[in-house]
Amino acid sequence: GDSAGAVTLESVILARVARLAPGARRFLEIVAVAGRPIRFAVVKQAADPNPRENVVEILRSGHLIRTRDMDAKEEVEAYHDRIREAVVASLSAEDAKSHHRRLAVALDASGEADPEWLALHWKEAGDLERAADYAIAAAAQAAEALAFDRAARLYSLGLELSQPKQAEPEPRRRLQVNLGDALSNAGRGGEAAAVYLAAAEGAPTAEALELQRRAADQLVRTGHIEEGLPLLRQVLEKVG
Q: Which of 41-45, 77-81, 158-162, 223-227 has the lowest mean pLDDT?
A: 223-227
pLDDT tens readout for residues 76-118: 999 999 999 999 999 999 999 999 999 999 999 988 788 889 9
Which range scores top for mean pLDDT: 111-115, 206-210, 220-224? 206-210
Nearest to 17 by CA among 121, 95, 75: 95
Residues 6+ apart with CB under 8 A from 205: none
pLDDT mean over 175-181? 96
Percentage of the chain beyond pLDDT 70 is 95
The pLDDT value recorded for residue 230 is 79
pLDDT at residue 11 is higher than 70 = yes
The pLDDT value recorded for residue 39 is 93
Which comes out higher in pLDDT, residue 229 or 173? 173
**Whole-angstrom Cα distance, residue 83 to residue 92?**
16
The pLDDT value recorded for residue 232 is 80
The type of residue at 79 is Y
What is the DSSP-derived secondary structure letter of residue 229? H
pLDDT tens readout for residues 117-154: 999 999 999 999 999 999 999 999 999 999 999 999 99
Residue 32: which H helix or E strand, with range?
helix 22-34
pLDDT mean over 153-176? 84
